């Protein structure tokens, strides 16, 4: 079995060598096989000694070589940014914040000058306050006079007045 395998391998290698040698031997392919056999391929056309031949078109000029591996970009080229002028619209400066209108309505007063109680109504709520009291952490009653009440809006520290009518 080993001798039979050796004979098959020898026949295969011999046939392969014959097929590789045959085209150059029988068909005259020597010129095309020269660069492969170790002879360097010409890189530039040879200059002729005839000065007229330089001006005339070459008879056996090689066709221009094609780039087999051209540079390719798969991303689209970036577009240049364009600049457009826009008018700047300046917003008017916001006015300084102001206190809202007083939500209270004067109902009445009771007591003496030292212990004066003021009755104020806001919606359904009724407040009984004295001078210096704070109402809902928003307003403080600062001063009580015969014709008006002075309240301070605490978030902005702005004074406001509430008319209480004529003096009693």
Closest CA to 147 of 162, 159, 165, 135: 165
Residue 44 is classified by DSSP as: S
Closest CA to 117 of 144, 150, 153, 147: 144
The model's pTM:
0.44
Output the pLDDT for position 59: 56
Do 105 and 121 form a contact (C-beta atoms < 8 A)? yes
CA distance 61 to 45: 8
Give me the residues of the chain with pLDDT under 70, please.
Answer: 1, 24-63, 166-168
Closest CA to 126 of 96, 101, 94, 104: 104
Closest CA to 120 of 133, 131, 109, 104: 104
| Chain CA centroid to CA 59, Å | 61
Residue-by-residue DSSP string for 61-107: PPPPPP-SS-----SPPPPPP--------PPPPPPPP-PPPP--EEE
Element (H, E) at 125: strand 125-129
Output the pLDDT for position 33: 46
Output the pLDDT for position 46: 52
Output the pLDDT for position 92: 85
Output the pLDDT for position 40: 57
């Amino acid at each position: 079995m080993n001798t039979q395998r050796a004979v098959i391998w020898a026949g295969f290698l011999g046939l392969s060598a014959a097929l590789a040698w045959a085209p150059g031997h029988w068909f005259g392919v020597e010129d095309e096989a020269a660069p492969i056999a170790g002879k360097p391929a010409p890189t530039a056309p040879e200059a002729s000694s005839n000065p007229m031949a330089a001006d005339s078109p070459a008879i056996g000029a090689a066709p221009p070589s094609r780039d087999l591996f051209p540079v390719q970009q798969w991303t689209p080229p970036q577009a240049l940014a364009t600049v457009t002028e826009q008018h700047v619209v300046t917003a008017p400066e916001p006015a300084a914040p102001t206190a809202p209108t007083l939500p209270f309505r004067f109902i009445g007063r009771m007591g003496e000058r030292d212990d004066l109680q003021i009755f104020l109504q806001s919606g359904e709520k009724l407040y009984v306050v004295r001078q210096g009291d704070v109402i809902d952490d928003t307003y403080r009653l600062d001063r009580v006079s015969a014709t008006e009440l002075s309240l301070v809006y605490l978030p902005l520290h702005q004074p406001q007045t509430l008319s209480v009518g004529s003096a009693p």
